[in-house]
Amino acid sequence: MRNPDLVFLKRFSVILGILMAVAVFLIVVAVSIHFSQPREVDPSVQARVEQRIRPVGDVYAGATGAAAKAAAEEAARAAAASQVAFGGTLEGDVIYNGACAACHGTGAGGAPTLTRGEWGARLAQGSDTLHRHAIEGFTGSQGLMPAKGGMPSLTDEQVIAAVDWMVDNLN
């Protein structure tokens, strides 16, 4: 004689096993479908990728290329002019206060302050040498002068104006 409870448990276990197998199969199918679909790309990620892979330069050939090259050079000059320090002003006091006073006001790095006694040997070299050292930079026994005071956005004319202003305002 068979035990009806045992028969029920066997059949119920088989049904549960089949249902679990179907559930695992459906999960595997759903995951595979999910990963097979193309993902939506975030626009900011796409923009960063395009920025990284854009060409660094252009090739200019023939008459069309010469015109494109001239236009690109003019655009580069205009962009560089717009990035000149202090709006391109040639007012020595503005440039001194914005770029030079940090060192020449305190004597940092051996920089001479606006005291005539500290400028004697430098003035003896002449204004052309002063201008060249301020533009190109200089390392001497008393300290160093970084090129353009460490501010490459200054033009040579602005550096000359600042040096001339400093010499004219020595105490």
pLDDT (0 to 100) of residue 82: 67
- Strand locations in the chain (E): 138-140, 143-145
pLDDT (0 to 100) of residue 118: 87
Which tens digit of pLDDT belongs to each residue from 151-163? 888 888 999 999 9
pLDDT (0 to 100) of residue 143: 79
Distance CA 8, CA 6 (A): 5
Which tens digit of pLDDT belongs to each residue from 85-139? 887 888 989 998 988 888 888 888 888 888 888 888 888 889 898 899 889 988 8
Distance CA 131, CA 110 (A): 18
Distance CA 98, CA 87 (A): 12
Which tens digit of pLDDT belongs to each residue from 41-91? 788 888 899 989 988 777 767 777 788 888 888 887 777 666 778 878 889
pLDDT (0 to 100) of residue 10: 93
The structural architecture, per CATH, of the domain 87-168 is: Orthogonal Bundle (1.10)
| 1: pLDDT strictly greater than 70 | no
Q: Is 20 exposed, middle or buried (0-12, 13-18, 19+ CB in 10 A)?
A: exposed
pLDDT (0 to 100) of residue 27: 97
Spell out the domain ranges in the chain: 87-168
Cα–Cα–Cα angle for 144, 148, 154, rounded to 5 degrees: 165
What integer is the mean pLDDT of 134-150? 85
pLDDT (0 to 100) of residue 24: 98
Supply the pTM of this predicted model.
Answer: 0.53
